[in-house]
Structure 1
Amino acid sequence: MCNFTAIENGTYQAYTLVFGSVMTLGLPLNAVSLWILLNHHSLKSPSAVFMVNLAISDLLLIISMPVRVYFYATGTWPLGEMACIFFTMLFRNNIRSSSIFITFICVDRLLAVVYPLRSRHLRTSSNAWKAVAFVWLFVVAVNIPESVTFSRFLMKNFAEPSCFEFGDCKNLSPMQYLQPVLVLIMLAVNVVCTTLVSWTLRSHLSDSAKVSNKVNVMLIFVMNLVMFIVFFLPVSVAILFESWRHAFTSLACLASVNCCLDPLLYYFSFDGFWRKKEDGDTSLAIE
């Protein structure tokens, strides 16, 4: 069972402002990015496949924003228990799916830079789509036990206007440990990939790819690390520490900002992001 404290109107107004700004900026940025990825870049590239699904994940997050803005602006929830669970799952799914897709992009860039020839049989669109399908199935499967837990909680507490206030819980269910563990593992993979790519670019190894724009390549990895450290990690581990749980909603608010920064990842990942890809183009930034 969770104990909720009254939140000052100023805090609710701040949440309203942040979620409203994320919705206003994130919707056009991700919609335009998705349109460009689908129309200007071949989905035969594994990076493009992962980025398309990352944009879809961000758009699903943005779908949950209008009701969050309404909730924090009015302090009321008029849509019922099932809608509360649905929009809560959309929000949590973004952190999980985004962290995995960003890690896939990071690993794909690692293989492209460090093992460009030996990894060609792995870096195919077919394998990318299989990985994407597995991720979405995993995310939906996790929703089932979580939804049951939330439903039980709401049956006891739904009279209170606390639809999105699940952070201050004294009793943790086993499923709540999944997200911190997942994010920490993905962060570790990103750190290893960043280290290996940085070392490779400095070493000029004979079997590594010739990278024309090393700054853009490293920016991709740095941005990935920033996403994890600033947006994904704090909200994921906060639930594990009782002293942090009072700040859970604030950290969730911060985490939502990640969907406005992902379009920068697309821009730096592709040379000529706005230019339509030619069939014969084998640039490292695309492949």
Structure 2
Amino acid sequence: MVSSNCSTDDSFKYTLYGCIFSMVFVLGLISNCVAIYIFICTLKVRNETTTYMLNLAISDLLFVLTLPFRIYYFAIKDWPFGDIVFKISVTLFYTNMYGSIFFLTCISVDRFLAIVHPFRSKTLRTKRNAKIVCVAVWITVIAGSVPASFFQSTSHRNGSEGQPLKTCFENFSEATWRTYLSRIVIFIEIVGFFIPLILNVTCSTMVLRTLNKPVTLSRNKLSKNKVLRMILVHLVIFCFCFVPYNITLILYSLMRTQTWINCSVITAVRTMYPITLCIAVSNCCFDPIIYYFTSDSIQNSIKKKHRSTRRRDSRFSETQISDNFIQHGLQTLKAKIFDNESTI
């Protein structure tokens, strides 16, 4: 049982959430809107990988659009938006987090099939199958996220001046944790985190082993370095965003089900949980980095945009130079005419 004398002040989380969520909202909104625009309007050729990326960007954007409600709540400590908006916000939070994990895993598995089994995977790696996988991912994460929102609801408390306030995203009873939430955590950790983590690490390891074989050493060194950089960026972002939070969530669940009595551990977990949650939410900003390093078509699209912008700028500067040259010539001609007239 958790000792009743074990008290921890984690009020810093309100300021932390407000600041980090505001940054994630701005950066995530811009980057994911740009990514979706590139996927839909700019890319002429879409493959399996870009299908997964487009769905990942949509998942990120949906979550980012709910952040202003959370920012308001953590700033004011009151929820005036009602239970329906609250449940939608909770559902989209878990849908984004575990949807991101699944879609990143799909990208990793797709890369594994393309490099390790390029011929045998031709029938599997089709755009139609990629769309089917994306639909299955959406159904899975929504089905797993909706129940979590049913166990979270707003509750009433009195503010500092005695006014009634609604709280949410926190303060669930120990009985709710022991009866329902701990089981949900076990399920989502196994299905939504550990299995994808194993798949990501295994696929990346197999790709690295394949690239280091003597047969592949003679290939283009530049393309090989690009694949290695792609794998490194993918794994670093996946592990940085999701490993700390999911491990802390397990420890937090053990704490809330009164499995521990150690106050120092409880203090550490209560301190780490808000920090790791903010890191997990920041995946909305890091995912576009994966888009850039994973897809050659996206890099080419951005480079084309950059080249066209430079061409427009160069044309504009050339026009400016020619205009200045003409104006200078006219002024010189006028000066000469004026000098000739004054000497007559």
SS of residue matched to 1:165: coil
State how far apart, in whole Å, the 1-side matches of 2:249 and 2:92 are.
Answer: 18
SS of residue matched to 2:41: helix
- 2:260 counterpart residue number: none
SS of residue matched to 2:151: helix
For structure 2, list consecutive stretches of 5 or more residues without a partner in the other structure.
158-164, 256-265, 303-344
User: Superposition RMSD on alpha carbons, in Å?
Assistant: 2.7
For structure 1, list consecutive stretches of 5 or more residues without a partner in the other structure.
278-287
- 1:250 counterpart residue number: 275
Instruction: State the number of aligned residues.
Output: 269
Which of 212, 225, 228 lines up with 2:235 in the alignment? 225
Bigger relative contact order, structure 1 or 2, given CA contacts below 8 A and separation 6+?
Answer: 1
**In the TM superposition, what are the counterparts of 1:91-170 in structure 2 within 5 Å?**
91-151=93-153, 154=154, 157-159=155-157, 161-165=166-170, 170=177
State how far apart, in whole Å, the 2-side matches of 1:221 and 1:276 are.
Answer: 21
Distance apart, 1:179 and its partner CA: 2.1
Structure with a larger share of its residues in helix: 2
Q: Which residue type is aligned with residue 249 of structure 2?
A: I
Which of 9, 14, 20 lines up with 2:22 in the alignment? 20
Distance apart, 1:255 and its partner CA: 0.7
In the alignment, is the contact (CA less than 8 A) between 2:152 and 2:168 conserved in 1?
no
**In the TM superposition, what are the counterparts of 1:153-232 in structure 2 within 5 Å?**
154=154, 157-159=155-157, 161-165=166-170, 170-171=177-178, 172-181=181-190, 182-205=192-215, 212-232=222-242
Normalising by structure 2, we get a TM-score of: 0.71
Residues 45-54 or 170-179, more deviating: 170-179
In the alignment, is the contact (CA less than 8 A) between 1:114 and 1:209 conserved in 2?
no
1:188-219 Cα offsets, whole Å, 9 max, x none, are 1111111111111111437x986742222122
SS of residue matched to 2:273: helix
In the alignment, is the contact (CA less than 8 A) between 1:110 and 1:197 conserved in 2?
yes
In the alignment, is the contact (CA less than 8 A) between 1:34 and 1:52 conserved in 2?
yes
Normalising by structure 1, we get a TM-score of: 0.84
Distance apart, 1:111 and its partner CA: 1.1
State how far apart, in whole Å, the 1-side matches of 2:53 and 2:92 are.
Answer: 18
- 2:31 counterpart residue number: 29
- 2:244 counterpart residue number: 234
State how far apart, in whole Å, the 2-side matches of 1:174 and 1:43 are.
Answer: 43
State how far apart, in whole Å, the 1-side matches of 2:210 and 2:171 are.
Answer: 44
- State the identity %: 33
Distance apart, 1:237 and its partner CA: 3.0
Q: 1:184 to 1:42 in 2, by over 3 A?
A: farther
